[in-house]
């Protein structure tokens, strides 16, 4: 190769590299959301807000143990969470009218919940990556089961916290344009929504233990029924950049006249489950995280056995009351455990406790009343 040819190759590589960097960085400031100065006015006065940060009520470390060990795990085990086979999808089969009690799982923590004729979408993430960058960050292990445009009319959108795998800018923007529902969020997250041009009248921000009904927001069905949504305490953290805990994190109680659903979002095991069960339960359906756990962050993510324990706390009655549907697994590789390890452990723990569970494929609708026999579909996907 001549000197001129080598020079041209080098210039081409440099241009390509610069182009990639530009594309990787494109939109990052917008995706990160609102600034601290925009969030702080809403956060002041919240129950657990002090020193410009939110706090858990129980001692909670985000990461424990040796940083060297954690880096070693990252270098040697980061691919353990990838399935060797193709994850099966189901095209969502949604009734024209919302049912009394059902959930359609779209993957990770994204759930379309039906309660007493209302439809609530929780933690909607339709993007390919859970990151502020379109080219860098955890990517989907399976496609979204159906386009966002195919969702039916929604009554509300719930957000549990501001991490990228739960609060996705592009999805929020499209929902704001295509739906006319309200966004119900923990304190501080409203600033992110306003930053992305969601109208103020469509945002309701709640502190832990606060409730709002859709009739208060003028979103009731006009048939005498109502849906009450309560912001429940969770044990987690927040942050879309280097600064942590500027917005609140939460789980959610969704209560209609006859049915109650608990959406866990992302949380470690906490005494708040038993308190929520006593005050807001018992719940007919719990949607609880079982994945992305690790010994380095035991306080802020539940493992499958803790999810079964949390279900019992929330359902108050005997262990067999209600149905547990696992979330927060299968879609993104966010920890060091095997892809199907969470569901294997869940099945074993649920059988030991006598807890009813259903493990849907991404896109599958689960009706607890007409529950089919268990399909162990994950067994067909080699690790």
Average pLDDT over residues 301-311: 98
Is 90 exceeded by the pLDDT of residue 329? yes
Tell me what the mean pLDDT of segment 106-123 comes to: 98
Give the closest residue to 252 by CA, choosing from 364, 107, 120.
Answer: 120
Strand segments, DSSP code E, in the chain are 49-50, 53-54, 101-107, 110-115, 118-122, 156-158, 182-186, 203-206, 211-213, 228-232, 251-255, 260-263, 285-289, 323-327, 365-366
- Assign domain 101-380 to its CATH architecture: 4-Layer Sandwich (3.60)
- DSSP strand E in 2-115: where? 49-50, 53-54, 101-107, 110-115
Cα distances (Å, whole numbers) of residue 221 to 110, 116, 173: 24, 11, 25
Tally of CB atoms within 10 A around 143:
13
Buried b (16+ CB within 10 A) or exposed e, 310-330: bbbbbbbeebebbbbbbbbbb
Cα(43)–Cα(55) distance, integer angstroms: 12
pLDDT band at 27 (very low <50, low <70, confident <90, very high): low
How far, CA to CA in Å, does 73 sit from each of 67, 84, 291, 303, 348? 10, 20, 17, 18, 26
Q: What is the DSSP letter of 378?
A: G
- Domain locations along the chain: 101-380
Q: Cβ(31)–Cβ(169) under 8 Å?
A: yes
Q: Give the residue with greater pLDDT, 242 vs 378.
A: 378
pLDDT of residue 24: 47
What is the distance between the alpha carbons of residues 227 and 296, in angstroms, rounded to a whole number? Answer: 38
Helix crossing, 272-280 with 304-315: angle to 10°?
A: 30
Strand order in the sheet with 211-213: 211-213, 228-232, 251-255, 260-263, 285-289, 323-327
- What pLDDT score does 30 carry? 92
Task: Compute, in degrees rounded to 10, the torsion defined by CA atoms 202, 206, 210, 212.
Answer: 10
Asked which of 60-74, 92-106, 203-217, 342-356 is least confident by mean pLDDT, the reply is 60-74
pLDDT above 60: residue 121: yes
pLDDT higher than 80, residue 1:
no
Contact by Cβ (8 Å): 328, 290:
yes
pLDDT band of 25, cuts 50, 70, 90: low
Return d(Cα 54, Cα 127) in angstroms, integer: 28
* pLDDT number for residue 75: 82
Question: Considering only CA atoms, which of 25, 246, 250 is closest in space to residue 134?
Answer: 25
Mean pLDDT of 335-360: 97
- Dihedral sign, CA of 204, 208, 214, 217? negative
């Amino acid at each position: 190769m001549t000197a001129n040819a080598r020079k041209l190759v080098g210039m081409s590589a440099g241009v390509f590299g610069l182009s990639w960097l530009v594309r990787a960085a494109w939109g990052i400031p917008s995706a990160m959301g609102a600034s601290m100065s925009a969030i702080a006015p809403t956060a002041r006065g919240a129950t657990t807000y002090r020193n410009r940060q939110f706090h858990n009520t129980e001692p909670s470390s985000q990461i424990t143990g040796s940083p060297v060990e954690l880096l070693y795990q990252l270098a040697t085990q980061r691919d353990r969470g990838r399935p060797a086979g193709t994850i099966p999808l189901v095209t969502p089969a949604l009734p024209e009218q919302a049912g009394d009690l059902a959930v359609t799982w779209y993957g990770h923590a994204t759930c379309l919940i039906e309660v007493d004729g209302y439809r609530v979408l929780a933690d909607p993430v339709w993007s390919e990556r859970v990151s502020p960058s379109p080219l860098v960050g955890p990517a989907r292990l399976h496609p979204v089961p159906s386009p966002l445009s195919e969702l039916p009319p929604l009554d509300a959108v719930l957000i549990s916290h501001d991490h990228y795998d739960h609060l996705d800018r592009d999805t929020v923007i499209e929902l704001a344009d295509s739906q006319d529902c309200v966004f119900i969020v923990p304190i501080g997250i409203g600033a992110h929504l306003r930053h992305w041009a969601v109208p103020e009248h469509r945002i309701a921000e709640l502190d832990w233990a606060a409730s709002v009904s859709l009739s208060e927001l003028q979103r009731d069905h006009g048939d005498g029924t109502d849906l009450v949504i309560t912001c429940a305490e969770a044990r987690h953290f927040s942050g879309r950049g280097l600064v942590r805990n500027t917005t609140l994190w939460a789980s959610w109680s969704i209560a209609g006249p006859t049915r109650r659903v608990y959406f866990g979002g992302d949380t470690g095991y906490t005494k708040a489950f038993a308190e929520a069960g006593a005050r807001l339960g018992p719940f007919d359906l719990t949607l609880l995280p079982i994945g992305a756990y690790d010994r380095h962050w035991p306080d802020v993510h539940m493992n499958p056995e803790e999810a079964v324990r949390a279900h019992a706390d929330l359902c108050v009655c005997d262990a067999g009351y209600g149905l547990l549907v696992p979330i927060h697994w299968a879609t993104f590789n966010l920890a060091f455990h095997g892809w199907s390890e969470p569901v294997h452990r869940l099945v074993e723990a649920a059988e030991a406790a006598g807890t009813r569970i259903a493990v849907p494929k991404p896109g599958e609708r689960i009706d607890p009343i007409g529950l089919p026999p268990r399909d162990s579909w994950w067994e067909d996907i080699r690790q």
